Amino acid sequence: MWAYIFLILPLFFFIAIRFAPTLFAMSVSLFRWDILSANKPWLGLKNYETLFADPVFWNSLTNTLLYVAFSVPAQLVIGLAFALLLQAVAHWKGFFRALYFIPFVTSTVAISWVWRWMYEPTFGPLNKLLALVGLPEQKYLASPDQALPSIVIVLVWQALGFYVIIFLAGLEAIPTDFYEAAKIDGARSWDVFRHITLPLLNPTIVFLTVIGTITAIQVFTQVLNMSFQGMGGPLNSTKSLVLFIYQQAFKSFKMGYASAGTVVLFALILVITVIQLKVTTRRVEY
């Protein structure tokens, strides 16, 4: 049968490169697996015990949840606001849409360094701007309190265009009859937004929430490139779970320990996916 012949290579790929490594990662997490040493003793669940007793792990996990908690709502609210604004104008719509989308297509490494230079406390333009309007200068990435929110701003800035595009597509899919009916009934714009736009936009909101959450849980490139020597500082205040895993695996070569971290990450994402499936099965009918 042709179907099987066509599927041989794809199946081999998904088994060998996706499925088997998943199981392998789980088993590696049960060993002390140092790539430089031939001796790889069995540890059972010891890596997990060490992990859950490691304050740096908890710190990274907390930071990761903070990235999610800050960036996802901001992206949703600002993205929807700009999509609504774009929908309300007659001219220049394509121009603005393209403008907002530029950061999304550019290299994350490049824009991380650009923002690092924007945030530079002494010579960066942001503090120059603050000084110009008479506000106190800030330390941004150099301050343990401000570094994480500063990175969140970059996350939101880069992803905004994507949210706007998806929200616009969602808004355009809402039949205009609803708005006309509401108009006849004399509804105010806030009521229309609250009772027509938002409920009908629900699938889009769910989709973007899930995508945004999974993306933010895996934040790495921005943190590595925007913290001094890629350490997730100052004082681990920006270190994300993936950066923690990366350092354990590829700087300290503790592959087993790092694998235990990836299993925790997997569990987190799995929980979110299950919640997504629960929510999206409640379909909204147009």
Partner 1 sequence: MTTLKRVQFQTTPRWFSQAVIYFVLLVGGIAMVTPFIWMIATSLKPAAEVFLGKFLPDAPTLDNYLTVFRKVPFARWYLNSVIVASLVTLSVAFFDSLTGFVLAKYEFPGKNLIFVFILSTLMVPTEMLIIPWFILSNSLNWVDTYWGIMFPGVMTAFGAFLMKQFMEGLPSELLDAARIDGVSEFGLFWRIALPLVKPALAALCIFTFLGNWNAFLWPVIITERMDMRTVPVGLAFFSGEAGSAWELIMAGASMATIPVLIVFLFFQRQIIKGIALTGLKG
Are the CB atoms for 239 and 2 separated by under 8 Å? no
x/- track of binding to partner 1 for residues 198-227 (CB under 8 A)? ------x--x------x--xx-xx--xx--
Give the nearest distance from C-beta 151 to partner 1 in angstroms: 14
Sign, CA dihedral 87-89-91-95, equals negative
Q: Return d(Cα 66, Cα 61) in angstroms, integer.
A: 9
Site for partner 1 in 20-79 (CB under 8 A): 20-22, 24-25, 28, 35
Residues 183-202 that bind partner 1 (CB under 8 A): 183-184, 187-189, 192
Q: Output the smallest distance, CB 248 to partner 1, in A.
A: 10
Q: Which stretch binds partner 1 (CB under 8 A): 54-62, 64-72, 142-150, 256-264?
A: 256-264
Span interacting with partner 1, options 62-70, 123-131, 134-142, 144-152, rule CB under 8 A: 123-131
Residue 86 as a binder of partner 1 (CB under 8 A): the answer is: yes
Locus of tokens 């790092």: 258
- The dihedral over CA atoms of 222, 113, 81, 197, expressed in degrees to the nearest 10, equals -40
3-state SS record for 83-122: HHHHHHCCCCHHHHHHHHHHHHHCCHHHHHHHHHHHCCCC
Shortest Å distance, C-beta 65 to partner 1: 16
Cα(152)–Cα(155) distance, integer angstroms: 5
203 phi and psi angles, rounded to 5 deg: -60, -40
In this chain, which of 45, 69, 109, 284 binds partner 1, going by CB under 8 A?
A: 109
Least CB distance from residue 144 to partner 1, whole Å? 21
Give the SS3 label for residue 29.
Answer: coil
Handedness of CA 212, 213, 214, 219 (dihedral sign): positive
One of 80, 155, 161, 201 touching partner 1 (CB under 8 A): 161
Q: Segment near partner 1 (CB under 8 A), from 45-53, 63-71, 138-146, 249-257? A: 249-257
Q: 66 or 265: whose CB is closer to partner 1?
A: 265
